[in-house]
């Protein structure tokens, strides 16, 4: 009942008052004590009993002249079923009200709400659109349409990585909801339940189930949850208790209790109870306001223990139930509404302050998937709140509410998804760690693996990691998302290579791939993609990228000097090829000097056709017709086909660099 009373007002207080008054004025035309009884039950908030009584009245209206009145009664039945979270019955009742020409367009709005809570989004949009033809500025209806469209877009799967499971150990055949950890150890969980084990003997007039009590469960020494038990002490009674929160030291419980009186409407208030070891004292009312007509419940203590957040329909809000706060130590004059970023014309309930700037709550006023959805609100530097839907699978088309976090991104919440009777159940949730990795190989210029290479990675989040390559040259690092990284790989006998990249900020697993190709200190290293025009030494523009790569190697290895070498093929005279290769090697050096490489770190040499290339593993993988280790000299080339001769000449026409020293020091040092 504590949940129902603060959960099921689906219209603004003004609209609800007008509609209720209209119905109560019209319905007495149907003579008989059952209708009067149903009206009184509804007015007192006894929705379960009222729904049964209205059903009897509805079934008795069989005459043609009763059609209009039948529509009125069907509407009231829909109101009852909505408050009981029996949305399939509610939508059927609203459809009957419309069929019998119920005279208020609100029926279409409430039909849209019920259909949305069933997950029938297209039908819900149609109902909302019909309502908007009469009330085109209604914000809640527009939010409903948006929520349905968002839900249809997310229909093919989850839109978050949360994993949700039914917490079967905590759930009974009745309602179990509003879990809350006792303290930051997250090993004792309290929640509300109307299980048959509840203390009282009376049935709730609102839900038809036993009146709810507060239960708790705790973990054993192995970290396993034990079966729940009723809270110990004087906490539970014949009244309805539930929806609790705790002071930071876990010594005080703030809870919602129902006030039941034969001469007044049922409502809820906030009480406190003190803990002595495992036992709780008899609850004492916590005075927030002298207003006795408004419902006040769903307490949530801020982590610093200074404020109490709660839900209420008291005057001064934005419609429906709003979230408010009050200073626990000094209630006088400290009451304030949390404002329009949080509160809407719908209902905002079940607050939970995870940190002093991070609020979770349930709402049917913000765009959602149906019923109540859970929302996350982050306090902004300007004092406002940034509100976002927690998405699927946390939220569903049904009511999702009452969340609590344990250690990290896991905890429990409540939902009536999949329960046609409208009973709430407790669900666990967890956000698995993202698996973001980067892996690859450290190789030499001939594609041979380099074992025992050292790879270091530094992130702009301050992280530093180091790994040694395996025998096959492989390595792997775990990363964080949205971080810029610098990686450096090096090995004995090789030059260092640096790479930079940024991991994606998307919340999804990712495996990046990167290979480090290290240049040898002891042998020449071929440079790919350096091009010249025929019979010329001028570098073509498409050579720039490869040349900049050489400059980067020199930057990553500041104590190294290089010789740039150029080789030609077998065609032409010895003198001609030596001159051409010398000019080509010098053009490479001139370019490197032009982009800032000190001249003292560079030398050049033209070898003409005097040093034919030996086939490496890499060349063999590109041109398998040439056996690995074969020297592509003129004698061998003459044995080849014309096509392979051209390929061999192409391999011989190359630019290479060799390390000439590893102890270079700039002249100014």
Give the tens place of pLDDT for each residue, 35-61.
Answer: 889 998 898 888 888 999 999 999 998
- Structural domain contains residue 331: yes
* pLDDT per position as a tens digit, 60-98: 988 888 889 999 999 999 999 998 888 999 999 999 999
Average pLDDT over residues 594-613: 95
DSSP string across 143-165: HHHHHHHHHHHTTTS-SS--EEE
Calculate helix-pair angle for 33-43, 67-83, nearest 10 degrees: 30
Closest among 552, 578, 557 to 567, alpha carbons compared: 578
Assigned token pair, 630: 């074969």
CATH number of the structural domain spanning residue 574: 3.30.1330.60
Q: Are residues 645 and 548 in the same domain?
A: yes
Report the pLDDT averaged over residues 281-297: 90
Q: Tell whether the model's pLDDT for residue 579 goes beyond 60.
A: yes
Question: Tokens for 241?
Answer: 């208790």
Task: Verify that 136 and 15 share a domain, yes or no.
Answer: yes
| pTM summary value | 0.70
3-state secondary structure (DSSP) of residue 445? coil
Cα dihedral 109, 110, 116, 118, rounded to 10, equals -150
CA distance 133 to 119: 23
Residue 101's CB is within 10 A of a number of other CB atoms, namely 11
Same domain, 194 and 274: yes
Tell me the CATH number at 498: 2.60.40.1120
User: Across all residues in the chain, what is the average pLDDT?
Assistant: 90
CA distances from 354 to 58, 218, 382, 597 (A): 47, 21, 20, 55
* pLDDT score, position 31: 43
Neighbours of 334 (CB within 10 A): 14
- The verdict on 490 and 552 lying in the same domain is no
End position of a domain, from candidates 380, 395, 430: 430
Q: Report whether the peptide linkage leading into residue 393 is cis, meaning its omega lies within 30 degrees of zero.
A: yes
What angle, rounded to 10 degrees, do the helices at 544-556 and 574-594 form?
A: 60
What's the N-to-C CA distance of the chain in angstroms? 82
Residue 391: both structure tokens together: 């998405």
- Exposed / middle / buried, residue 145 (Cβ in 10 Å: 0-12, 13-18, 19+): buried
Residue 7: predicted pLDDT: 45
Are 281 and 423 in a shared domain?
A: yes
Instruction: Report the greatest alpha carbon distance in the chain.
Output: 122
Q: Which residue shows structure tokens 């069933």?
A: 118
Q: What share of the chain is helix, strand, coil (3-state, %, to 5)?
A: 30, 30, 40
The Cα–Cα gap between 547 and 597 comes to 11
HSE-up of residue 152 (Cα within 13 Å, Cβ side): 13
pLDDT per position as a tens digit, 514-547: 999 999 999 999 998 888 877 888 898 999 999 9
User: Does residue 158 form part of some domain?
Assistant: no
Assess contact for 71 and 101: CB atoms under 8 A: yes
Order the strands of the 425-430 sheet from edge to edge: 163-166, 425-430, 410-415, 400-405
Residues 130-144 have pLDDT tens digits of: 999 999 999 999 999
628 phi and psi angles, rounded to 5 deg: -60, 135
Residue 391 within any structural domain of the chain: no
Q: Are residues 514 and 539 in the same domain?
A: no
Determine the average pLDDT of the residues in 99-111: 94
The answer to the question of residue 366 being in a domain is no
The DSSP letter of residue 542 is G
User: DSSP secondary structure string, 574-599?
Assistant: HHHHHHHHHHHHHHHHHHHHHTT--G
Q: Work out the pLDDT band at 202, boundaries 50, 70, 90.
A: low
Domain span at residue 545?
A: 525-661
Per the structure block, which two tokens stand in for 195? 């299980």
Strand pairing report for 474-478 and 436-444 = antiparallel
Residue 24 pLDDT greater than 60, yes or no: no
Domain assignment present for residue 369? The answer is: no
Alpha carbon distance 604, 616 (integer Å): 24
Residue with tokens 């005459």: 63
> From the centroid of its chain, how far is CA 337?
28
DSSP labels, 478-508: E--TT-EEEEEEE-TTB--EEEEEE---SSS
The CATH number assigned to the domain holding 115 equals 1.25.40.10
d(CA 269, CA 256): 6
| Residue 653 and residue 536 in one domain | yes
Q: Is residue 413 part of a domain?
A: yes
- Domain assignment present for residue 631? The answer is yes
Find, among 357, 397, 356, 358, the residue nearest to 375 by Cα.
Answer: 358
Q: Which of 430, 464, 493 is the last residue of a domain?
A: 430
**Are residues 499 and 580 both part of a single domain?**
no
- For residues 85 and 212, state if they share a domain: no
Determine the pLDDT at residue 535. Answer: 82
| Percentage of the chain modeled with pLDDT above 90 | 73
The Cα–Cα gap between 553 and 414 comes to 58
Clarify whether residues 503 and 565 are in a common domain.
no
Beta strand pairing call for 373-379 and 358-363: antiparallel
Nearest to 110 by CA among 130, 129, 94, 134: 94
Question: What does the pLDDT read at residue 121?
Answer: 92
Are residues 412 and 264 part of one domain? Answer: yes
| Nearest alpha carbon to residue 267 among 206, 210, 226, 218 | 206
Domains in the chain, number:
4
Judgement on whether residues 333 and 186 belong to the same structural domain of the protein? yes
pLDDT at 205 (0 to 100): 63
- For residue range 428-487, list pLDDT tens digits in order: 999 998 899 999 999 998 889 999 999 999 999 999 999 999 999 999 999 998 999 999
- E strands, 228-281, in order: 229-230, 232-233, 241-246, 252-261, 264-276, 279-280
Q: Is position 600 within any domain?
A: yes
End residue of a domain, out of 518, 534, 565: 518
């Amino acid at each position: 009942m504590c949940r129902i009373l603060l959960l099921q007002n689906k219209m603004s207080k003004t609209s609800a008052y007008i509609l209720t008054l209209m119905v109560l004025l019209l319905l007495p035309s149907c003579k008989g004590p059952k209708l009067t009884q149903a009206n009184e039950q509804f007015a007192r908030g006894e929705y379960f009993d009222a729904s049964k009584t209205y059903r009897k009245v509805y079934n008795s209206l069989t005459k043609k002249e009763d059609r209009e009145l039948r529509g009125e009664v069907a509407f009231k039945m829909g109101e009852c079923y909505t408050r009981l979270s029996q949305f399939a019955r509610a939508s059927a009742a609203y459809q009957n009200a419309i069929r019998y020409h119920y005279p208020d367009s609100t029926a279409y709005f409430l039909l849209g709400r019920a259909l949305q809570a069933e997950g029938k989004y297209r039908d819900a949009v149609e109902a909302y659109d019909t309502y908007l033809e009469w009330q085109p500025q209604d914000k809640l209806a527009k939010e409903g349409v948006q929520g349905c469209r968002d839900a249809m877009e997310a229909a093919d799967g989850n839109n978050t990585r949360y994993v949700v499971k039914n917490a079967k150990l905590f759930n009974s055949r009745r309602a179990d909801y509003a879990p809350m950890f006792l303290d930051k150890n997250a090993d004792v969980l309290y929640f509300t339940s109307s299980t048959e084990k509840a203390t009282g003997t009376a049935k709730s007039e609102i839900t038809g189930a036993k009146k709810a009590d507060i239960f708790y469960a705790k973990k054993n020494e192995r970290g396993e949850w034990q079966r729940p038990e009723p809270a110990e002490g004087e906490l539970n009674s014949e009244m309805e208790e539930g929806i609790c929160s705790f002071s930071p030291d876990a010594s005080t419980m703030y809870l919602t209790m129902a006030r039941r009186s034969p001469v007044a409407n049922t409502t809820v208030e906030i009480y406190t109870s003190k803990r002595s070891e495992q036992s709780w004292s008899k609850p004492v009312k916590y005075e927030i306001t002298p207003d006795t007509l408004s419902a006040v419940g769903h307490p949530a203590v801020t982590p610093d223990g200074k404020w109490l957040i709660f839900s209420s329909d008291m005057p001064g809000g934005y419609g429906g139930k709003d979230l408010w706060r009050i200073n626990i130590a000094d209630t006088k004059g400290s009451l304030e509404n949390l404002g329009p970023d949080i509160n809407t014309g719908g209902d905002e309930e079940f607050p939970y302050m995870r940190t002093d700037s991070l609020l979770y709550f349930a709402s049917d006023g913000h765009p959602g998937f149906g019923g109540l959805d859970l929302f996350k609100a982050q306090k902004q530097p300007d004092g406002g709140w940034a509100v976002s839907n927690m998405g699927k699978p946390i939220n569903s088309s049904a009511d999702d509410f009452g969340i609590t976090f344990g250690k990290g991104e896991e905890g429990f919440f409540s939902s009536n998804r999949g329960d046609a009777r409208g009973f709430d159940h407790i669900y666990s949730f967890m956000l698995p760690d993202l698996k973001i990795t980067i892996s690859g190989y450290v190789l030499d210029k001939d594609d041979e693996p380099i074992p025992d290479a050292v790879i270091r990675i530094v992130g702009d989040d301050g992280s530093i990691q180091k790994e040694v390559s395996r025998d096959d040259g492989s390595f792997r690092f775990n990363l964080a998302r949205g971080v810029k990284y610098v990686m450096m790989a090096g090995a004995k006998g090789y030059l260092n290579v640096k790479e930079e990249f940024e991991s994606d900020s998307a919340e999804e697993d990712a495996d990046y791939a990167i290979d480090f190709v290290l240049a040898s200190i002891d042998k020449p290293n071929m440079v790919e993609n350096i091009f010249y025009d025929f019979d010329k030494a001028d570098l073509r523009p498409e050579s720039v990228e490869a040349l900049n790569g050489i400059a980067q190697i020199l930057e990553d290895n500041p104590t190294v000097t290089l010789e740039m070498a150029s080789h030609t093929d077998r065609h032409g005279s010895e003198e001609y090829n030596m001159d051409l290769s010398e000019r080509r090697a010098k053009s490479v050096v001139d370019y490197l000097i032009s982009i800032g490489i000190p001249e003292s770190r560079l030398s050049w040499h033209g070898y003409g056709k005097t040093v034919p290339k030996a086939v490496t593993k890499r060349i063999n993988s590109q041109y398998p017709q040439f056996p690995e280790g074969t020297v592509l000299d003129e004698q061998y080339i003459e044995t080849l086909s014309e096509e392979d001769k051209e390929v061999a000449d192409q391999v011989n026409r190359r630019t290479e660099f060799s390390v000439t020293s590893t102890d270079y020091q700039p002249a100014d040092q």
